Amino acid sequence: MRTITMKYSLLIVLGFFATFVKVSAQTVDILPANPIAIPVHKANIGRIIFLKDTIPAANLTDADILKELTITSISNLSMLAFMGNSLTNYQHQIAPNLTVEQLNQGNYQFTFYVDGKQIYQENLNKGAGYALFKNSRTVLNVKLLSTLHEDMWSRYMFTRFMVRGGEDALTTGAHILKIELRPYVNIPDLKVGHLIAQGELKVIIPTVKVKEKAIQPIARKSGWAVSSETYNKKLITDLNEKILQNKFKNISGIVVIKNGKLLIEEYFNGSGRDTLHDPRSVGKTFAAATMGIAINDGYIKSELQTLEDFYDLKAYKNYSPQKDSITLKSMLTMSSVFDADDNNDESPGNENNMYPTENWVKFALDLKTDSSKKAYKSWHYFTAGVVVLGDILNKKVPGGLDKYADAKLFKPLGITNYKWQYTPQNVPNTAGGIKLRAVDFAKFGQLYKNDGLWNGKQVIPKSWVQKSFTKQMALPADVVGLGYYGYLFWNKTYTINNKPYETWYCTGNGGNKIFVFKDVPLVVVVTSVAYNEGYAHPQVDKMMQKYILPAVLK
């Protein structure tokens, strides 16, 4: 009996020792983490607290900690996660065989809950946060909402949470927002570790007064006949409420034209009818319209003319015979062979490389060509190419581009209140940025809806409108999903009540749009100042899909 007991005891000791060794091997840090020294950190390991702004943990007071937050357009919100170790060491516990470099390919996993229901989960991209911080920091201090609009991964993540369910879950009233934080690795497969921090915050979505969200009456002297057609006013009221609650952010105007008459005119965030909106790349399409007029007037022979008809290309850098055959059409359709792609930060021809230069046309014509590209086969967004189109127009039309466009485009439409931006050479900036009133942007859209006709006058040739609304290029799926491109017009289809509605549209940074629908008598303008925000374009799609189109389509 004694022998059995001793053997049993020895097995227990050996088993305990083996377990201790195994646990110890898992918990030995791969790197030294920052010490947990300050009292507030020691007392809150595993907790996320919320603040109005980023505050160093050492300076934190009880008064800084938010118990609740009313979310408005001027709200700031930060989170402070107190962890017991660094991210890399937490990752090491779930993948002890990986190197530090391999662990750094993973990141944090954020999970968002509203009132106990999981709404959104994101495994942060490996590039969110520096490896140095992943390896050492034991406190994560980041902004979620900010009126300063900083370029931060944390703000973009919170926006994705809002767009992908948060806005719908956070209805008017009080809610509990909960965030959970876990580590993850993805080599060789995705592994997610245990919870390392969590926190809750009461958030309040304010009630919008009935008067504030009511549909705005259309004032006189809009330049439009006012429509008497009926539409779903509740949907537009609901949309107004969400804009006022900042669920749709930085929207400045909405104009709807149906059957050639003004149906809806709404303004927000300090804008009004006389506000000149800056729609950025929407302005590119004005260059296309003027090009069609200039060709019809004979100042330019055809969009099939090549650059060598207008420039001595050998006088520019990186000359190649490929440049001689680049047509105006290839730049109208974003399919030229220049080594340029605005959607690629590393591209030599990216527009961000153009703006600091003294001569934007020279920047474009100095670019190399890409031998892997073939004209009309490869779509790449090329802002500098549209600057060249504007320069050609400015050289060839009488009086220069601004005077010509005023006489041939704006005056026939009755548009007198507008403002060009100019290039360093004092040429109207066709890269984008021409400022108009929202009701006047609607005139431009209706002009195309009318096949170029306005008040009995053919302002733009009908054939040019037809070419502009031809699916010249298929868009890459990673740009906007399924869609096409015409002459500086985009194309897509919305599905409402299982019925497709095809539209051609101009679009610009910030979520600015002019929609011209193909088979229904509808033009929609949305103006916005959500510049460089990831939510800018998706939120307009949501507004169109859930509110505007269902409200006005029969």
Instruction: Name residue 503's beta-bridge partners.
Output: 492, 517
**Does the N-terminal peptide bond of residue 188 adopt cis geometry, omega within 30 degrees of 0?**
yes
DSSP code of residue 57: G
Q: Cα torsion at 480, 528, 539, 285 (round to 10°)?
A: -20
CA torsion sign, 126 to 137 to 120 to 77? negative
Strand 197-205 to 68-70 pairing: parallel
pLDDT along the chain (554 residues), means of 10: 40 38 57 95 97 91 94 94 98 96 98 98 96 96 93 94 94 97 97 98 96 96 97 97 94 98 97 98 98 98 98 98 96 97 96 98 97 86 98 98 98 98 98 95 98 98 98 87 91 96 97 98 98 93 97 93
DSSP string, 292-360: HHHHHHTSS--TT-BGGGTS-GGGSTT--HHHHT-BHHHHHTT---BS--TT-TT-TT-HHHHTTSS-H
pTM value? 0.88
Tell me, what's the pLDDT at 394? 98
How many residues appear in the chain?
A: 554
pLDDT of residue 479: 77
**Could you give the 3-state DSSP secondary structure of residue 362?**
helix
List CB contacts of 160: < 8 A, sequence separation 6 or more.
120, 122, 534
Q: Give Cα separations from 378 to 340, 371, 471, 483, 537 (angstroms).
A: 11, 12, 14, 14, 23
Q: 64: helix, coil or strand?
A: helix
d(CA 11, CA 127): 48
- Would you state the pLDDT for residue 27? 57
Alpha helices in 28-170 (DSSP H): 39-43, 87-94, 100-103, 131-136, 153-161, 167-169
CA–CA separation, 360 and 148 (whole Å): 30
Sign of CA dihedral 74, 236, 537, 162: positive
Instruction: Specify whether the CB–CB gap between 293 and 465 falls below 8 A.
Output: no
Relative orientation angle of helices 438-449 and 284-297, to the nearest 10 degrees: 50
Question: What is the per-residue pLDDT for 20?
Answer: 33
Radius of gyration in angstroms for the set of CA atoms belonging to the chain, rounded to a whole number: 29
Q: Where along the chain do its domains lie?
A: 28-205
Is residue 394 within 8 A of residue 368, CB to CB? The reply is no
Q: What is the DSSP letter of 417?
A: -
**219 and 273 in contact (C-beta within 8 Å)?**
yes
